[in-house]
Structure 1
Amino acid sequence: MELDRIRAWQLFIETSRLGSLALAAEALSFPLPKASRLISSLEDELGFLLLDRTKKPAALTKEGQALVLDAQGLISQWGILRERAEALRNGNFELSRRSLRISLPVNMDRSVFFEALQNLPIKHPGLQLEFCADVGQQALLEGKADIAWFGYKPEERGLVAIPMGYNVSFLVASAKYLKSHAEIRKVSDLINHPIIMRDTGNESFSQVLQCEYSNYEIGRDHKVLYGDSDACKKLLIEGKGIAIDMNPNFIAEELLDGTVQPVLPGWHRKPWALHICCRKSSSKDPIIREAMGIIRYLALHQEPNDWKSWYRRLHLPEQMVLLPKV
C-alpha cells in the first residue's frame, strides 16, 4: 500500500477521534491543504465520502463511521509491522509478548467491550488482555492499568484523556418502596425520603439534580445513604430509599422486570463527562491507541450503555436533559 494511503487513513482516524480534520492535521503535523487532498484522494478510491463537508467542522458520514474500527486496526497493524521490522533489523527474531491491562467500571454493561477487545490478541500475537475495574488516576499513573475509563476528566498532568460524551442517570426506587411510601409528586418531596447515592470519594460525585433549567441540591437536611455501586444497588432493591445516580445498565434487569421504577420523570443527577485515559508516556503506543479507539467508538455508538436508549425505552422526557456545552 502506498505510504500516502497509510497517511490518509491516519488522518481519517485522528479526525474521528478529535472531531475535526484541522485538528487531525495539526496533531499529525500535516498542512491542512495536504490533509484535505489525502482524504479526498482516499474518498475517490473508495467511491464514497468519508467526511460530510456541509457540516462545520466536517463530520464522519455513516460510511465513514462504519470504517472506523477497521481503519484503527489497519493503522495499528502498520505500527506493529514497523516495530517488528525494526526488531528484525536488530537481530531479534523472538515473538514479543506483552500484556494490556484495561480498567472498565463495574456499574455498566461491559460485555460489548470485552467482545470487541478480544479481537486484539488475534490481530497482535503475543498480546494478553487483562481486565480490572475502577482504577483511579494515581493507580493508572503507577501502572496498575494501561487504559482506564473515568466518569470525569482527570486532572493529573501525566495522563491523556479523550472525551467520550456524557452519561445521564434518572431517579429510581423499588416497586416495594413506592408501594409503602407516600407518592412523590415534586422534587421538594425528596426531603421526606432517604436518598441513596454514591459516596463522596467517587470522583464524579455530585449532589445536584437537574430538570431542564431547574436545579435541586441534596443538602444536609436530607437523609442520605452513601455507598459504592454494589451497596447502592442493594439498598435500592431492598427498598431503602430513592437512588439518584445509579447507572441504568447496572440495574437493567430490575428496570426491565419492573422491580425498580423511575421516579420524578425529567429529574436527573447532573450529567457526568466520560473519558478514556492512558499515561502520556504510552499515548503513542499503537496497540494502546487502537484499544482506546475501540472503547471510545463503542461508548459513543453502541446502544446498551447509551443513556438516551434508556430514556426512550422508559418513555422519560429526554428534552429535559441539557448537556454541558463543549
Structure 2
Amino acid sequence: MNFDALNLLIETTTAGSLAEAARRLRLSPMKATRLISALEEELGTRLLHRTTRALSLTDDGRAFLPHARALIEERSAALASVRGAGAGPTGLLRISASLAFGRQVIAPLAVEFMQNWPDAQIDLRLSDTVVDIVAEGIDLAIRIAELRDSELIARRIADNPRLLVAAPSYIERFGTPASLQDLERHECLTNNATTHWPFRLKSESRAIRIKGRFTANSIDAIHEACRGGLGIACLSDWDVAADLRSGALRVIAIEDATIEPLAIWAVYASRHMVPAKVRFFIDALARKLNRQDQHAPS
C-alpha cells in the first residue's frame, strides 16, 4: 500500500480539498489525483466524494481513515526502531499552539528547527481555542493550561509563571491594589469565559472574583488592552518580559498572595513510539524554555 497515498488521504480530511492537501504535501494536483485513484482501485471502493464545491469522505472512507492513520503510525514506529533513537526528524510536523505563544516562542523556534533539520517541514496552526488534534491531524499541540483527563499523551515541558501587570497610566489614575480585596474593586482584563483568578495564600488556594469592562477571546488582545491602560491583566512571564524591561508594564504585587502558575504541556496522540519529528521538537522547546528561565530577570 502506498504510504504517500495514505498521507494524502489523511491530509485531505483536514485541508478540505485535494488541491490544498497536495499543496501542503508538495505534490502536483495531477500526482495527488493519481495517488487517490490508485488507492481507491487497490481497496476496491470510493473513498472521497468529489464535487465542484466540496470534498468529503464516503462511508467507506470514514471507516478506512483510522486504519490509514494506524498504518502511518506503525510505519513511523518501524522506521524509528531500525534507525535508532538518534535518527533525526524528517517529514511534515503539524503543530498547534495559542496565538501569543505561537507567535513569540513557537514560530522563532520553528525557524531554528528547520535550519538544523533540512528534511523537516512544519505546518504551524495558531488559535486560542482548543483544537481536536486527532480530528485535525495535528502531530503536536502546545498547551498552557490545567489539563483535563484525556486519552491523549501529555508531557510537562516547563512551568508557566504568571504575573499581575498594568500600564503606568492605569496605576497613576487608579493606584495599585495591595490586597485581594482591593483587587476586586479594580478593572481586570480577562477572556470571555473567566470570572475568577486563582491565587495561592501560603498553602491555601483561593479563587478571587474579578470584573472589568473589557474582555476578549485572545491573549494578544488582552495584552494590548493592558498596555493601553484599560486595566490589570494576568499574563504569562514570557509574554510580558519585554514590556517589563521597557517600562511599558509594571508588576502588581499583592500582599501575601501570588497568582497560581500554570504549566506548558506538549500533547500528542501517538500510541506507540513517538515519531522523531515530535520528540526532537519537544526537546528543542524544552531547551529553549529552560534557557529563557535561566536568563529571566529576578
Taking structure 2 as the reference length, the TM-score comes to 0.60
Identity among equivalent positions (%) equals 15
Q: 1:141 aligns with which of 134, 138, 150?
A: 134
Give the alignment partner of residue 155 of structure 1, picking from 149, 158, 169.
149
Map 1:242-253 onto structure 2 (within 5 A): 242-244=232-234, 246-253=235-242
The 2-side partners of 1:200 and 1:224 are apart by 14
Pick closer, same or farther for the CA change 1:137–1:194 going to 2, 3 Å: closer
Partner of 1:6: none
Q: Structure 2 matches for 1:134-283, cutoff 5 A?
A: 134=127, 138-152=131-145, 153-157=147-151, 159-200=152-193, 207-213=197-203, 215-219=205-209, 222-223=211-212, 225-227=214-216, 228-244=218-234, 246-264=235-253, 267-281=257-271, 283=273
Quote the Cα distance in structure 2 between the aligned partners of 1:183 and 1:102.
Answer: 39
Structure 1: 5+ residue runs without aligned partners? 1-75, 84-96, 313-326
CA pair 156-268 structure 1, distance change in 2 beyond 3 A? same
Cα drift, residue 271 of structure 1: 1.2
Q: Report the 3-state secondary structure (helix = DSSP H, G, I; strand = E; otherwise coil) of the residue aligned with 1:209.
A: strand
Distance 1:270 1:179 in 2: 27
Shift of 1:104: 3.2
Shift of 1:112: 5.1
**SS at structure 2 position matched to 1:208:** strand
Aligned to 2:109: 113
> Structure 1 residue 297 and structure 2 residue 290: aligned?
no
Higher relative contact order at CA 8 Å, sep ≥6: structure 1 or structure 2? 2
> Whole-Å Cα distance in 2 between the matches of residues 311 and 211 of structure 1?
24
Q: How many residue pairs were aligned?
A: 211
Write the mapping of 1:43-54 to structure 2, written as runs, cut at 5 A. none
The letter of the residue matching 1:166 is D
Letter in 2 for 1:155: D
Letter in 2 for 1:218: I
Aligned equivalent of 2:63: none
The alpha-carbon deviation at position 310 of structure 1 amounts to 4.4
Give the number of the structure whose residues are more often strand, by fraction: 2
Instruction: Decide whether the 8 Å contact of 2:188 with 2:212 is kept in 1.
Output: yes
* Partner Cα distance (1:200, 1:173) in 2: 21
Q: Is the 8 A contact 2:180 2:254 kept in 1?
A: no
Give the drift of 1:215: 4.5
Deviations 1:100-131 (A, max 9, x none): 11223333431552244224542xx3x32122
1:135–1:190: structure 2 CA closer, same or farther, 3 Å change rule?
closer
Q: CA RMSD in A?
A: 3.3
Paired amino acid for 2:246: D
Give CA-to-partner distance per residue, 1:26-55, whole Å, 9 cap, x none: xxxxxxxxxxxxxxxxxxxxxxxxxxxxxx
Task: Please list, as runs of the form range in 1=range in 2, the aligned pairs for 1:17-28 lying within 5 A after superposition.
Answer: none
Q: What are structure 2's unaligned runs of at least 5 residues?
A: 1-75, 84-89
Alpha-carbon distance in 2 for matches of 1:137, 1:264: 31
Q: Detail structure 1 runs of 4+ shifted over 6 Å in the superposition.
A: none
